[in-house]
Every structure is written in C-alpha cells, then in structure tokens.
Amino acid sequence: MTTESTNIDALLREERTYPPPPDFAREANAQPDIYRRDPDEFWETEGRERVTWFTPFEQLKQWDPPYAKWYLGGKLNVCYNCVDRHVEAGNGDKIAYHWEGEPADTRRDISYADLQREVTRFANTLRKLGVQRGTPVAIYLGMIPQLPIAMLACTRIGAPHTVVFGGFSAESLAARMNDMKCQILITQDEALRRGRPVSLKSISDEAMAAASGVETCVVVRRTGTEVAMTDGRDVFYDEAAADQSDDPASCPCEPMDAEDLLFLMYTSGTTATPKGIVHTTGGYLVGTSTTHHYIFDIKPDTVYWCAADIGWITGHSYIVYGPLCNGVTSVLYEGTPDFPDKDRWWDIVQRYGVTVLYTAPTAIRSHMKWGPEYAQRHDLSTLRVLGTVGEPINPEAWIWYRDHIGGGRIPVVDTWWQTETGQILITPLPGVTTLKPGSATKPFPGVEAAVYDEQGNEVGPGGGGYLVLTAPYPAMLRGIFNDPQRYQETYWSKYPGGVYFVGDGARIDDDGDFWLLGRVDDVMNVSGHRISTIEVESALVDHQDVAEAAVCGRADAQTGQAIVAYVSLKGGQEGTPDKLAELRDHVGRKIGKIAAPANIVFTPDLPKTRSGKIMRRLLRDVAENRSLGDTTTLADPDVVNEIKDRATAEAAKEE
C-alpha cells in the first residue's frame, strides 16, 4: 500500500482552499441550506419536481437490506421525461445535442423536436423487428446520434438495454449479450478512431457467432462502407426504418413501473466475470437529474459537455439521462481530444460556447502534458463550472485544470461515484462548497457516507479506512443481474446492517471533507476505467503458451494506474519481444485494448507463499520499484530477486 501512503502524505500536505466566487454563490441552484434538508424530504420533493409521473408514487422508499425500492407505485416513462415533455412545454426548438463528428466538418444540431421524431421512428422500427416491452437489447455503437436515440427508443417501448463500449472485444460483447439474453443487437458499420475506421460490424459478427440468442442485428450506417450482411438476421437501420412513422402519436411512451429494469451496465469486479449492474427506472432518473441540476448548476442557457463515452456509466447518467431529463443543451463529440490536433476540445468549447465541462483526470493530465498553449488558442471564457470523475485527481492536475481551462476563476467539482451508484454521491456544490484540490469534499444532500476501520468502527476526522454508504439513495443498484449471492458478498457482507462496502479507501479531514484514496481490492483503475486483475490474468493464461500469470497495477503519471503482468511461459520458454506483442494483442482481443498490459515481465516462476498463493503485494512492490517488505512466508525467496532483476532489465530496455 505504499502508493496509497505516498498519496496520503501528499494529500495531507495539501492546504489550498477555494471558496465559491460570490456572484456564482448568489445565483447558484444549491444554497447552503440544502445540507439542512432531511434526506427523505429532499428525495421526496426532488422526486416530484424533476420528473413527470403518469401515476404519482405512493411511498418514497422501502429499505429491506440489501434491497431498496424507491418511489413505489409510481408510473413514468424515461423517454417521455427526456424528450416528449420538453417538446410539449414549447421547447421543441431547443438544441438537445450539438453533435460533432470526428472529421471536423461533420456536425449536426439536433433539437428536442428532432430527437422526438428520430426516437419515435427508431422505436417503431424496433417494434417492427419484434422488440416488445421487456425484450433485452444490446447496443454496440460509437458516439453517434443514433446511440442516445437507440437508448431512448428502448426506454420509450419499455425494452431494457445494455450498451457495450465500442472499445470492447467481440468476446466481451458476446459475454454481455449472453448474460442478459439479448435477442437483438444494434451496431454500426464502422466507427472512427483518430481518422481510422474500426469495423464494429465485423466485431459484432464475431460476437454473434458466440451469442446464438441474438436473432436480429440492426446496422446503422456511419461511414457507408460495404459490410457483410447475414440474410435473415442483419438489416440496415435506414432500410428497416424507411416505412416507419416518426409521428410521436404513432408510438406512445409506455408507462413503466418505478422499479422496472431500465438497463444493465457491466463492470469489472474481483473475479474474471464482469457483473451486470441493475438500474431501474424511477430512482435512477430522479438521482441523475437531481445531481446534474445542483452539481453542474444547470441554467436554461447552459451548454453542457460531458466528454466521456456513453458506453460507460458516466455517459449513461451524465450525457444521456440526467441532462436530457433536465432539458439541457449538450455537446456530443465522436472523437478523441487530439484529432486532428491537440486543441480540438478547446475549439469545440469556443464554437458552441460550452459553459460546463465534465471529464476525467486522465484526460486533464494528457492536456497538461501537451501544454497550455493549445487551450490558449481559444476563447474559453464561457465556461463557468468544471467537473472531474473516474479516479482520484492529483492536486497538480486539479490546479492546472482550474488555471488553464477555467482561467483561475471558476469552481472545479471533483465528483465521486461508481457504476453501482448510478449517480454522483460525494461532490462539492459549486456555489456552496469551499474547494480543496484532491478532495471530493462532502456527501451530496440526502446521501450518507462514512469511513470505517477493519472492524466496522466509524473512523472520525483525520482517520483513514474503507469508504461505506450507510443509507440507500434513489439511483443505487438494485442488484447484480441473475446473481444475488455475488451481490450480497461483494457489497453487503463486509459490514452488517445494510452498510454498502464501496471498495475504495478514504479519509476524512478535520472539516469533514472526504479524500478518496483508490481501490482497496484487486481492481485497477486505468484512465478512469475499472479493470480486474483476475480478468486480465484469465485472458493471459488463456493463451496457449502461458503457464501462469499474475497482474497488478502500478502508479502511472498519465493514466493513474498502468497494468503490469508477470508471466511464466510453458516448457521453460524464454520471453521475446514478439511474444510480448502477441500476449498484449491476445488480451486486447479477449477483453479490449484498454486491458492490454503496459508491461509484461517474463519470469520462470511467480513468487508464492508456502500454501501456493501468489504474493501480489511483492509484485506490486517490484512494479513500483520499492524495496521489498517481508518475504519470509515465501516458498522460494530467490524467485523475487530473479523477477526484480528481470523487471529492471525490462525497464532499462524501454528507456
């Protein structure tokens, strides 16, 4: 845990504070009294105000640990709340998305009325293809308008979806589709990545070969390139939709129960199989729209940009459902920050007059590395709130973001949450909170968090331990799909009494502010994305030449953590540069490029305890170049020295 202790030391020295700018504070959506509101009153009032219910809820919540229900008896439709009601209120001409394709000349402004027509046509097309209320739909699309349109179309007709990030492999896509028993897959011909096409359709074909339950594949044309189509299974969206009505009356929004399944989002845990996190309808929509409203201080003229990918929870909650429910104008960008040049983001901010920007620390560190001159080429004075999410932000990156992007004048909100929580839980409120670089500050109103020690005693100010959530909140997960036992074990078994175990270390300072310290389990966080060590190890040992593998994260200035793998090959083979490339590709194909190890150290043996357990702590120490701690329980202490020598030789080669 040396990285964490270095981290704690650095954070302990961090004493800079930034009170909210007075003009901002005066006009802010959240005022200081928001923290005095009773949690039940808060969620009851917000539940009524943010969302339009077809049938009002009768009961705020039911908490039967570890299962929560919210807004019981309420009927609503997510698409109605995100689209139709804004058109009915006379805001049909308001822009929902400024879509910007990766090629700089591809742009489209989509109004709420346009969105309503397109979603209706998509929903009618899905119906024609056999999708009904309750039919599970897989979506494997890049950041094109049809991604939110397809999601909303599903919610319009009551079909739950799972969106799979476009960077995941065929195998990952297939595993998700099989787990959810998806009957239909929506994909596109090709996505664009730094000017290069990526054939999502051929990855989908490979995935469908391993997911026989998928009977229909809808292909959206993005680049128009020719792709192989399987008769009787594959249809182009434009052809299937040609005879479908876009009149909203032709496809009314299905009234859903507050607790009906809205979507599954798969995320890595501490085993080789990702878990399908269950999110339901009413609480999720209230949780995301309420947090979005207060944390980003949304006003009628806000131009909001969350620069994440919709394939992750951040995009679901804060590109699609929260912002659309609040009727906001957003930017939706298809590409990378450095294409065609490193000022692409700042060009977008200037052109659309973006007022709120929400991104990940890893992206900020990339911009830092490239230098502030790219931002300086553009007028960023419309910005009034900056946000971060996904991993702990180091104070230097926080200050750089505030100074070089925010002109040293606007609040930076460091928002902590997870796929499981669905909504932001620990965060500053920009008009209320005195900010501290590196601290996510306080639980959001109506949220209760604490830090516990190993025994379950609450650790007071100044102390460190495990972050826990001690009360339910509307958008919380309702379970792991088809796996109640794993749900219980992962989150609810460490502490009794309905206390949710987060898996993050944290400390609380003397002002009661929370400082997040990273994962405490075998989960790595690379560029704000969760990857399980076991998942990568399984992918490695799946290769025919690999006898054993152990994986750990090491600190990385750019990506937060980087993946290091220790591999011993079968039959005493020695590792070669070719083998290294082959193994990286293999992991990329099994899981997705994001999981390919940054370093692989080939070693004849892995360090094991006498009972045969691999000593990950030692491997982490080697990966981070630290002096090794206690090795007395090792079966063969020489193994560690051997590994150390090999790791040092690898590092020297790279330099």
Residues of this chain that interact with ligand PRX (CB under 6 A) are 267, 313-314, 389-392, 414-419, 440, 502-504, 516, 519, 525, 529-530
Residue whose token pair is 């499981």: 420
Residue whose token pair is 């990385």: 556
**What is the SS3 assignment for 18?**
strand
First-last CA distance in the chain: 26
Q: Which is nearer to ligand PRX, 422 or 575 (CB)?
A: 422
Q: Report, in Å, the least distance between residue 435 CB and ligand PRX.
A: 13
Q: Which is nearer to ligand PRX, 346 or 515 (CB)?
A: 515
What DSSP string runs through 287-346? Answer: HHHHHHHHHTT--TT-EEEE-S-TTSHHHIIIIIIHHHHTT-EEEEE-S-TTSSSTTHHH
Q: Report, in Å, the least distance between residue 418 CB and ligand PRX.
A: 4
Q: Which is nearer to ligand PRX, 267 or 329 (CB)?
A: 267
Q: Report, in Å, the least distance between residue 179 CB and ligand PRX.
A: 17
Q: Which is nearer to ligand PRX, 254 or 391 (CB)?
A: 391
Q: Report, in Å, the least distance between residue 308 CB and ligand PRX.
A: 8
**What is the SS3 assignment for 435?**
strand
Q: Report, in Å, the least distance between residue 66 CB and ligand PRX.
A: 18
Q: Which is nearer to ligand PRX, 468 or 549 (CB)?
A: 468
Residue 447 burial (10 A CB sphere; 0-12, 13-18, 19+): buried
Q: Which is nearer to ligand PRX, 116 or 291 (CB)?
A: 291
Q: Report, in Å, the least distance between residue 525 CB and ligand PRX.
A: 5
* Residue partners of 493: CB distance under 8 A and separation at least 6: 501
Q: Which is nearer to ligand PRX, 390 or 575 (CB)?
A: 390
Q: Report, in Å, the least distance between residue 241 CB and ligand PRX.
A: 33
Residue whose token pair is 């690999």: 546
Q: Report, in Å, the least distance between residue 385 CB and ligand PRX.
A: 15
Q: Report, in Å, the least distance between residue 434 CB and ligand PRX.
A: 17
The dihedral sign for the CA sequence 30, 356, 529, 14: negative
CA-CA-CA-CA torsion for 317, 321, 327, 332, nearest 10 degrees?
70
Beta bridge partners of 443: 426
Of the candidates 338, 436, 359, the one whose C-alpha atom is nearest the C-alpha of residue 405 is 359
Cα–Cα distance, 430 to 450 (Å, whole number): 22
The token duo for 375 is 């931002």
Q: Which is nearer to ligand PRX, 156 or 519 (CB)?
A: 519
Q: Which is nearer to ligand PRX, 516 or 622 (CB)?
A: 516
Of the candidates 194, 628, 269, the one whose C-alpha atom is nearest the C-alpha of residue 477 is 269
Q: Report, in Å, the least distance between residue 20 CB and ligand PRX.
A: 19
Q: Report, in Å, the least distance between residue 625 CB and ligand PRX.
A: 23
Q: Which is nearer to ligand PRX, 123 or 363 (CB)?
A: 363
Cα–Cα distance, 653 to 640 (Å, whole number): 20
Q: Report, in Å, the least distance between residue 532 CB and ligand PRX.
A: 11
Q: Report, in Å, the least distance between residue 581 CB and ligand PRX.
A: 28
User: How far is CA 105 from its chain centroid?
Assistant: 28
Q: Which is nearer to ligand PRX, 342 or 519 (CB)?
A: 519
Distances (CA, A) of 86 to 51, 90, 112, 150, 383: 12, 7, 7, 19, 25
What DSSP string runs through 529-567? Answer: EEEEHHHHHHHHHTSTTEEEEEEEEEEETTTEEEEEEEE
43 and 61 Cβ atoms separated by less than 8 Å: yes
Q: Which is nearer to ligand PRX, 240 or 536 (CB)?
A: 536
Cα–Cα distance, 285 to 475 (Å, whole number): 7
What is the b/e burial string over 308-336, where b = at least 16 CB atoms within 10 angstroms of the residue's CB?
Answer: bbbbbbbbbbbbbbbbbbbbbbbbbbbbb
Q: Which is nearer to ligand PRX, 120 or 418 (CB)?
A: 418
The torsion angles phi and psi of 338, rounded to 5 degrees, stand at -115, 30
Angle between helices 616-623 and 638-654 (to 10 degrees): 30
Q: Which is nearer to ligand PRX, 125 or 289 (CB)?
A: 289
Q: Report, in Å, the least distance between residue 334 CB and ligand PRX.
A: 20
